[in-house]
Structure 1
């Protein structure tokens, strides 16, 4: 095949069309999926942060309940109640 200006233009046109088609059929859907995954991960991180905060709050409340129960047991033991 002889390479001349006409053949070169045709070849560039075919390559450009193929690149555009690949971008439309493969790259764009992948970018959309990656963006959706990024948003889902951000939401999960936020949810985990809130759960961690809730857990810390429950831990503090549990310590207070345990201290109260310990105090109540001491009072009961002091009264001689078993």
Structure 2
């Protein structure tokens, strides 16, 4: 019986050591990588939000520029009409 308990203790010790190795060699690096990926995703979201805002501003500026260009074309057409008269 004593020999059986000794074997059980040895198995538990080996399993505990293996669990520590798995945690140190696999789990901790994975946690570090996940944290780094999470930070990268947050940064990308921030950049994406800024780019979307810039695109919205560019779209507004383009619309104003197109309206202004239409006005300029009308004035040029009027001036051409006066010159050819």
When the two chains are superposed, the root-mean-square deviation of aligned CA atoms in Å is 1.6
Moved over 6 A (4+): none
The runs of 5 or more residues in structure 2 that have no matched partner are none
Structure whose alpha-carbon radius of gyration is higher: 2
- Taking structure 1 as the reference length, what is the TM-score of the superposition? 0.91
Instruction: Count how many residue pairs are aligned between Structure 1 and Structure 2.
Output: 80
Tell me which of the two structures has the higher relative contact order, counting C-alpha pairs closer than 8 angstroms and 6 or more residues apart: 1
Alignment correspondent of 1:47: 47
- Taking structure 2 as the reference length, what is the TM-score of the superposition? 0.88
Secondary structure of 2:60's counterpart equals helix
Secondary structure of 2:71's counterpart equals helix
Alignment of 1:2-81 (within 5 A): 4-80=4-80
The runs of 5 or more residues in structure 1 that have no matched partner are none
